[in-house]
Structure 1
Amino acid sequence: MKILNCFGLSDAHVTPESHDDNQNTNRPIDWHPSFYTAMNREHSHRRSNKPIILTLRSWLRKNIERARSHQEGVRYIQDDIARLLHKFQTDLGLKAIRFDSVWGIQHFRGCLMSFDRLFKIHTHFLKHVLKGKTLVFSNCTGVSRLGEVVLSSEDVPQTWITMLKSVH
């Protein structure tokens, strides 16, 4: 602020907190690494130059507990997906059900749950249309060149049923 006044500049835009001359400036200085090299000093935050040897075994030891906790966290989702897949394959006579999308397993589970609600309403129709076919949840709706019924994971079940009626 004194500098502004020396040159005749207004200090009205300076906040009152910045007027405090007793601000604590005693903080550790982190110089550029070249300074420490030139002064033959060891940088306190410097990493050792020893290369990190990462093997599959060491990586597994380091990450196995985290992987197990993630696995336990999604087990109920995997079990629910397996239950719904088995239900649809037996009840509808589907050859296979696939999820071909960039979304994760939670999204696949959501698709299967939406399809389950649709199945409860249109049971006989879906049995007739999908028997012996492969059902794929993907990013678009239609029929693949292999004859697979493709339902977009982004569509609502009403769009799915409209497409299935046109395929029938």
Structure 2
Amino acid sequence: MPADPLAPLPPLPPARRDGRGPRPGLRRDVRGRGLRHPLPFGARAGRGRADALMDAVEKAVDRLAGLQAPGLRRVAARLERIPDRLDERLALQRARAVADEEGLFGRAERDGADGVVITLFERPLTESADPADLEEAVYAVALSRCAAALGVDPQVLDPSWGRA
């Protein structure tokens, strides 16, 4: 008969007196590789950066759709790893030929009369934003890109934006 998958894990063997062997309470690899055994049933693993970014994108889309602004009745978002022609964009920006720095973080296109499709770029967002401020950074990029696509100021779409 197979072992019960919901049964608790067996206890760790006791530590040896000569100092070798497993130490009680030490279950993490000293080189930072994580847990040495499977997680117990019901325990949650920590969220990674990709999960945090996906949550931030979902919250930004929900917040934009809740603004009830004309042109933002349907908001969709895509997430891409890096922007197309990144080297060319960085060279133009360094030469000050392009004033739009936020174009490195995302873009938005109109989708009919009342919709917008936002494309956000994962690498520039996660590398430039502090993890604690990731939600606000994603919302700021999404709002500014939508405003540029609609041809209005971000304050028109979200009057509370930019106020302390």
Q: Do these two structures clear the TM 0.5 threshold for a shared fold by scoring above it?
A: no
Larger radius of gyration: 1
Instruction: Determine which structure has greater relative contact order: mean sequence separation of CA pairs < 8 Å that are 6+ residues apart, divided by chain length.
Output: 2
More helix by share: 1
